[in-house]
Amino acid sequence: MQEIKVRCCIVGGGPAGMMAGFLLARAGIDVLVLEKHADFLRDFRGDTVHPSTLELMYELGILEDFLQRPHQKLSRLGAQVGATYVSVADFSHLPTHAKFIAFMPQWHFLNFLAERGGTYPEFQLRMQAEAVDLLQENGAVTGVRAKAPSGELLVHSDLVIGTDGRQSTVREKAGLTVLDKGAPMDVLWLRLSRQESDPGQSLGRIDRGRIMVMINRDEYWQCAFVIPKGSAEPLKARGIESFREEIARLVPYLRNRVAELRDWSDVSLLTVKVDRLEKWYKPGLLCIGDAAHAMSPIGGVGINLAVQDAVATANILASPLASGQPPTPLLQEVQDRREFPTRVTQRIQIFAQDRIISRVLGADKPLQVPSIMKLIQSWPVLQRIPARAIGMGARPEHVRTPDVHQQQRRAIAS
């Protein structure tokens, strides 16, 4: 058994965990990030990096390097409704330096943050280290018990930040109350090859009770096929051939490629949840990102809300942590800062689920373009409204934490 003492232990190497670890280390905080997997290579993770997150990269001075990683740019968002293509959002007018969504496989995003964090001596990342329990004394969390290939690991810390996703071990062990808001859908995640003659834009396709979102990854399409909640097993019972035919009817130009789905092992089920914690913390522990609020895939906002949580957490806690102050009195301030945008976003998602997604999944005839989408199409200036809501969110954050090593270098140089 190995024992470690750090100022802050972060459980989970997703967007919230890696960004929080990077920012806290940059501010001079001794931080350890525990990630249970051996790498970040998982296709079912989200890809959409919104202008709000790209603006944070600009503020950190790393946007240009970040955009050297493989990605596709999307400055307008639209959907194919039946036979009609409808533009929904135009990001080109946002008050940001990057006026587009970057579709970047999440493993590139996380590896980039890991590399940046690794430039600071205060940053530690342990892969294949899975948190299995919390260390607690007198009702306060004092660290984490983890298992690693080398054996058991005990991490003692002044603050534990849970960023281990919607199936969070941290929040379960802490006994935090989860408020389930419900979701009428699940998603089947798959990939199909892409040909030069295919459209270049990432598209949502909606028709006859089916919805599929296609993300252009140059050589292949990463596809999210939306199904009614709990319908995965009946769908599988009808056979992979039936599923192939559903895809081909929805996206005819994929008909000659659906055979690439050899069997159901080529399809992954993502169970959609919309929930949030009633209270995001207890003494010595804070949950952020999906561990605090699981989001629907609608709008692709999950990564960006998680990153904004991390920035707000660092803004509020970095200085007290650096000066040795106890962080617990400030944890409510983090929740107060981030709960409002979480509630607003979830209300919009639930509205879309109930008024749009549920109706589409229940339709058995060709769909007509909804009146609101016709209005947005007729008056392009209106496309700036959903662009602002999707691209920036209800409360975008800005980096307020210092780079202590850069400050030291400047002091020495002067």
pLDDT digits (tens, 9 = 90+) for 195-218: 988 887 667 788 777 889 888 888
DSSP 258: G
Mean pLDDT, to the nearest integer, of 151-156?
96
Position 74: which residue type? L
What confidence tier does 116 reach under pLDDT thresholds 50, 70, 90? very high
What is the pLDDT at residue 202? 64
Average pLDDT, the chain: 91
Is the per-residue pLDDT at 320 higher than 80? yes
User: Strand 123-127 vs strand 31-35: parallel, antiparallel, or unpaired?
Assistant: parallel
Tokens at residue 401, please? 């934490």
Position 157: which residue type? S
What is the pLDDT at residue 209? 77
DSSP 75: S
Instruction: Name the CA radius of gyration of the chain, rounded.
Output: 22
For 52-64, the pLDDT digits (tens) are 999 999 999 999 9
Q: How many CA atoms lie within 13 A of 341 on its CB side?
A: 23
What is the pLDDT at residue 335? 98
Tokens at residue 399, please? 């980096």
What is the pLDDT at residue 366? 66
Is the per-residue pLDDT at 138 higher than 90? yes
Alpha helices in 133-196 (DSSP H): 169-174
**DSSP of 314-348:** HHHHHHHHHTT--SGGGHHHHHHHHHHHHHHHHHH
Question: Residue 236 in 3-state DSSP?
Answer: helix
Place of tokens 């249970």: 36
d(CA 397, CA 241): 47
Mean pLDDT, to the nearest integer, of 377-406?
92
Question: Comparing C-alpha atoms, which of 82, 54, 130, 139 is closest to residue 370?
Answer: 82
Tokens at residue 135, please? 């260390």
The residues near 241 (Cβ < 8 Å, ≥ 6 apart) are none
d(CA 374, CA 390): 19
Tokens at residue 370, please? 């909804």
Question: Comparing C-alpha atoms, which of 61, 65, 77, 69 is closest to residue 105?
Answer: 69
Question: Comparing C-alpha atoms, which of 8, 245, 280 is closest to residue 142?
Answer: 8
Is the per-residue pLDDT at 181 higher than 60? yes
The residues near 253 (Cβ < 8 Å, ≥ 6 apart) are 197, 198
What is the pLDDT at residue 105? 87
Task: Answer with the residue of higher pLDDT: 83 or 296.
Answer: 296
For 36-50, the pLDDT digits (tens) are 999 988 755 668 899
Is the per-residue pLDDT at 242 higher than 90? yes
d(CA 292, CA 135): 20
**Beta carbons of 34 and 146 less than 8 angstroms apart:** yes
What is the pLDDT at residue 274? 93
